[in-house]
Amino acid sequence: MIITSPVFENDGMIPKKYTCDGEGINPEFQIQNIPGEAKSLALIMYDPDAPMAGGFTHWVVWNIDPKTMIIKEESIPSGSSQGENSAGTIAYIAPCPHQGMHHYFFYLYALNDVINLPSGALVVNVKEEIEKYLITKAELMGRYQRE
């Protein structure tokens, strides 16, 4: 399974448009080679460089249809659910590092079942469900540093 973005390369710079210095919207993602046995996908955006203990979770989305090949910018896939991010909101939180270069990991998970959690669930609970149903995972990493 592969996750890419047409707006930044793996280990490349995330364009300002998708950060707090721009429009603050999620970038587009393209997904390939989803396992045939996948019943759902989950996506977690995580910044390990954040100063808080345990890093910062920017975005949590699950129950993405496994036929999804594109997640468009400024959208979540139809029928999917979003969880609570580290800011306590149910939304995409754009990169906005206070200082230095930060690395933003977009982890995509293929699951052999759907996750039975309500919208707004905590990332810790979503991760527990991911571990139960995980088939495979892919990642894309982008970097951002404020001027």
pLDDT in tens, 50-107: 987 789 999 999 999 999 999 999 999 999 999 999 999 999 999 999 889 999 999 9
Instruction: Specify the CATH number for 2-144; select among 3.90.280.10, 3.40.630.30, 3.30.70.520, 3.60.130.10.
Output: 3.90.280.10
pTM of the predicted structure, to 2 decimals: 0.96
pLDDT at 82: 98
The residue type at 34: I
Contacts with 90 (C-beta within 8 Å, 6 or more apart), sequence order: 82, 83, 84, 119, 120
Phi and psi of 108, rounded to 5°? -110, 130
